[in-house]
Amino acid sequence: MSPAEFASYRWRTVLGASLTVGLPRGQYDATKVINLGANRWSIKPELGLSHTKGRWVAELMTGVWIFTDNTDFAGGRTREQDPIFSNQIHFTYRFTPRIWLAADANYYVGGQTTVAGVGNLDLQRNSRIGSTFSWAIDRHHSVRAAASVGAQTTIGADFTSIALGYNYAWGR
C-alpha cells in the first residue's frame, strides 16, 4: 500500500500468524551454569486476532515457546525445558486517528526444566498488566508513554516499568 492508502485503510477483523525462531547462538561454556548463549533451538508459533468496532480495537494473541534439549549443560548433562504457553490481550481506544490509549494484559505458564532427569522447581506462572498512550504530533513525529507491572509472578518478571518514547517516521 502507498502511505495514503495505508492511512485511509479501515480494517474490521484481521487474523494473523507468526513464527519466531531462536538460534543456538552466543557465547556458551558448558563448564558454567550461567551463559550468554543458549546452546539450543527455540521456536514460537503464534496466532493473533484483531477486531475493530468504532473507536475500539480488541486484540488477542496466543502462542507457545518450544525448546530443544541442551545436551551439553553444565558438564555434559542434558537440560530439557517444557513449553511455555502465552496469551496476550489488548484493548485500544482511538480518541482521534493520531491519539490512542491501550490497556494490556498477558499470562505465561510452563517452562519447567529438568537436568539429567531431575525436575527443577521453576514452573513459570506469570502475568503482567499495563497501559500505553500514543500521540502522533504530525505525520513524522509521535510520542509514547507506557507503564506495566507484574500482576502475578512465580519466577522472574516481578518489576514495574515506565517508558517514554519518541518516534520519527521517514517518508511521505
State pTM to two decimals: 0.81
Question: What is the spatial distance between Cα 123 and Cα 156, in angstroms, rounded to a whole number?
Answer: 11
Do the domain assignments include residue 5?
no
Number of domains in the chain: 1
Do the domain assignments include residue 57?
yes
CA angle centred on 92, ends 89 and 98, rounded to 5°: 145
Do the domain assignments include residue 1?
no
- Per DSSP bridges, beta strands 70-73 and 77-81 are antiparallel
pLDDT tens track for 132-157? 999 999 989 999 999 999 998 888 77
Question: What is the spatial distance between Cα 79 and Cα 43, in angstroms, rounded to a whole number?
Answer: 17
Q: Whose CA is closest to 84, among 62, 110, 61?
A: 110
For 150, the domain range is 10-168
Do the domain assignments include residue 31?
yes
Do the domain assignments include residue 59?
yes
Do the domain assignments include residue 121?
yes
**Block residue for cell numbers 563448564:** 31
Question: What is the spatial distance between Cα 15 and Cα 128, in angstroms, rounded to a whole number?
Answer: 24
What per-residue confidence (pLDDT) applies to 15? Answer: 96
Do the domain assignments include residue 68?
yes
pLDDT tens track for 31-74? 888 888 889 999 999 999 999 999 999 999 999 999 999 998 88
Do the domain assignments include residue 140?
yes
